Structure 1
Amino acid sequence: MQRAMRLLEAAATHPAGAPAKQLAREAGLALPTAYHLLRTLNHEGYLRREKGVFVLGAATERLSAGAAEQNRRGMVADTLAHWCDLIGVPVYFAIYRDGEIDVVSVADTVGNPAVEEWADFRETGHAHAIGQCLLAQLDDEARRNHLDRHPVRSLTPNTVRDDRTLLRRLDALGRMSPVVEQQEYALGTVCAAIPVTVGTTAATMAISVPSSQAYRLKPATRLLQEETGKLLRTLAFSISI
């Protein structure tokens, strides 16, 4: 594996391609070994042979894209973990992608655990702050399309009762207003979400606290807004995940 990686690294330094002998020399490999590995890498799509030289193949590009995606996710996770420690509450990052609510990352601690996903977040956007904040950023057609696929249903006595009531609430909120949810998704928990919109992509940062500590929600939300403003560029870059 290490020898194959050395060949790929050598090939990466030659955008126009390089012959087997040159790659073998730069990778520090015997020519017969290099030939064998180059044939394998070519067969697997990591390299492509063109006019006697080897260039990087499509599989290498996918490998690079995967590493970049993992790096972006790591950036988001690190940012959320920092805010979780700073604010002292669980922190969530979610986006609306391909017609669905996607909770990209969550940071919590033993002392401040995240809300248990007892009902699929994707199907219960009407009942939690994350979903309401994302839906508020959509146009009317997109909201109705979402509710056609994921109808409003009662999860707790506080859950909004029907589509019409929910749509009125979303209209009243406005696209860029924070959302507060009081035990609509889970009894004993209150949540807040703030919108993060970049271009046409709807995103949100959210926090949750036990209902017995509801007094912490407003100052924690204000601090989250301040921190999000400082790192908006990082979040915008990460929305492409």
Structure 2
Amino acid sequence: MRLLEAASEHQEGAPAKQLAREAGLALPTAYHLLRTLTHEGYLRREKGMLVLGEAAEQLSSSGAQQNRRGMIDEALAHWRDTIGVPVYFAVYREGEIEVVAVADTPGNPAVTEWADFRETGHAHAIGQCLLSQLDDGQRRDHLDRHPVQSITRYSVRDNQSFMRRLNGMGRMKPVVERQEYALGSVCAAIPITAGNTAATMAISVPSCQADRLLPAALRLQDEIGRLLGTLAFSISI
């Protein structure tokens, strides 16, 4: 590990003797370890210099991804505790709705995924918010693969009705859904766009507390505005 740390400090590479010296290792030991690291793909030789190899870069990428996931989890936990509601983070990736993280508590539980979120985007605020950020062709492609179906008595009934609803939504405005996915729950979602990626933060409350929904959503939107740079960086997880 000390040899890899030393190598990471030299983007253009460094000779074995220099890496051994910086790692504080005897030269014979360093030579043996460097041969092993090169064989395993953690280092590679370029014009007599040793640089980080593909295996080390993958390891670094995995660590960065974990850091981004940790940032998302911390942000959601903060907003859950500050606003007092379950908080969700989702993205639209490779043609599918993906709920990346959820923060809730036993006293304020998240909505149970009783019907696959990917297939029922028309019925919940997360899906409606993500699909509202897509262009017409992308929406139609999604509905061809996941056609509208009645989930509760409050759900939209067919693709045409749902497309009209999406077209009528204000761009980048909160999306509110009332018992369309789960009876007894109302939800709101805030759109977030980072580059070409559609994402959303959402909240839910019991329908008997529906008057809390919009104030909580507006507060979340304000919080997101303050941390948009951090959140946009984390969307790539």
TM-score by length of 2: 0.95
Is the partner of 1:121 in helix, strand or coil? coil
2:115 aligned with 1:119, yes or no?
yes
The equivalent of 1:57 in structure 2 is 53
SS of the residue 1:120 aligns to: coil
> Which residue, 81, 93, 109 being the options, matches 1:85?
81
Q: Which residue of structure 1 aligns with residue 3 of structure 2?
A: 7
- The SS at the match of 1:80 is helix
1:74 aligned counterpart, secondary structure: helix
**d(CA) in 2 for partners of 1:8 and 1:133?**
44
Whether contact under 8 Å (1:137, 1:174) holds in the other structure is: no
| 1:197 aligned residue | 193
1:67 alignment partner in structure 2: 63
Residue type of the alignment partner of 2:179: Q
Distance 1:225 1:25 in 2: 52
Matched residues in 2 for 1:133 and 1:217: separation? 16
| Runs of 5+ unmatched residues, structure 2 | none
Distance in structure 2 (CA, Å) of the matches to 1:95 and 1:133: 10
Q: State the percentage of identical aligned residues.
A: 75
Match of 2:204 in 1: 208
Deviation at 1:7, TM superposition (A): 0.7
Could you tell me which residue of structure 1 aligns to residue 135 of structure 2?
Answer: 139
Check whether the contact 1:124–1:150 (CA below 8 A) recurs between aligned residues. yes
- Give yes or no for contact 1:7–1:23 (8 Å, CA) kept in 2: yes
- Please, what TM-score do these two structures have when normalized by structure 1? 0.93
Matched, 1:165 2:161: yes
Paired residues in the alignment total 237
| Pick aligned residue for 1:21 from 13, 17, 21 | 17
Aligned residue type for 1:87: I
Contact 1:190 1:211 in 2 (8 A): yes
The answer for the alignment partner of 1:238 in structure 2 is 234
Question: Deviations along 1:184-220, whole A, 9 cap, x unmatched?
Answer: 1111111001111233321111000111111111111
**What is the root-mean-square deviation of aligned Cα atoms in Å?**
1.4
Q: Which residue does the alignment assign to 1:185? A: 181
CA–CA distance in 1 between the matches of 2:91 and 2:10? Answer: 38
Which portions of structure 1, spanning 4 or more consecutive aligned residues, are displaced by more than 3 angstroms? none
Gaps of 5+ in 1: none
Deviation at 1:223, TM superposition (A): 0.8
